Structure 1
Amino acid sequence: MKNVPTNKSFRKKQNLKLKFLLIPLTLFLTISVIFISTFQSKMYNSNLRKKIYNSMTKSKNRITAYNKAVNLNNGASANTCVYFLSEVLRMNGEKINNSVCNTNQLLDIMKEEGWKKEKNYKKLRPGDICFTTDSKLNKYGTPSHTYIFMKWKEKGKYDYAYVCDNQAKDYDWKIYHIRNIAKVDYSNGHSKDPFSFFMYKRD
């Protein structure tokens, strides 16, 4: 007569089988998480982004870029965001012609150079290049402004951020200042168009 397994021995065997099934599953999930994290890190981390951020933490560099932008715009600080941004890129090794003066020209160059677009501002990292909507708040129109993202004003809040751009006259003459990323805002009586997307360059 064959021995009939008890409920206890049956459960033990089943638990053992379950453990053997869980080991490869856990290993697969762990490897997947590591792979995704590594890919995202590679995707959004770049030496250029870090160089841009580090250069803009120095007041001397901000002033140099601002003055060069104004000079290229015949002494006017208005509508010099692309001049300013282009000078910052030149400071950090990018080849941008001095004649580049509008967002369409800059974006064409970025696309040719392999820059990527991201629309989720929660993925912004210090040194990323932001572009706004057009003046009619159309995300598919020509961006009215471009600036450098530096950091969020408050950790975990995705509205106000520290940025660098040419609009110092609207922010108490501060090139490094706070701007609302998420929605239309006003400063010194001027409307500020909201974020549309940012550009990043992989190594």
Structure 2
Amino acid sequence: MPLILFNKPFQVLCQFSPQDGRITLADHLSIPNIYPAGRLDADSEGLLLLTDDGRLQHAISHPDRKEAKTYLVQVDGVPDAASLARLQSPLDLGDFITQPCQAVRIAEPDWLWPRHPPIRARLDQPTAWLAITLKEGKNRQVRRMTAAVGLPTLRLVRSSIGPFSLASHPLMPGEWCEVPAAALAK
């Protein structure tokens, strides 16, 4: 039962079936019978776990046992203490209220690959980087959270899921490696 760590590139769909000529996981992974345990939007990049074990897939993504996920987020604007406090507190996004999370301002990660196409640059508008760690994962949640506090997301990279991170498994976009599934139990 392989557990695959995959660094999903920007604009790759988190599915294996073809869709209107778009790039999918099948364009990067030819391992039979594996499926993603969770998803990332096409606009998002970073760590994705895949497995051929349905029970493991369910355990990784089930709401009762959500693994902590850390996202590195480049936002339009500079957060102040109040916006960071709002991000960390339950935030009403209209259709649901987020659980408390960790949100801190960080320096731009020096290990991060350039994005293609690059993020637009406006000299009159500063940007900042945040590290946001969640134990839930609703559709486009991080993007919706930063927008709700007035800091639209420009770039979103999932850097870790549970014990696995791109810092300890340096994979470039489109690269993957196999790891022992038993590491999730630790």
TM-score by length of 2: 0.26
Determine which structure has the larger helix proportion and give its number.
Answer: 1
TM-score by length of 1: 0.24
User: Larger Rg: 1 or 2?
Assistant: 1
Q: Which has the higher contact order (CA 8 A, sep 6+)?
A: 2
Determine which structure has the larger strand proportion and give its number.
Answer: 2
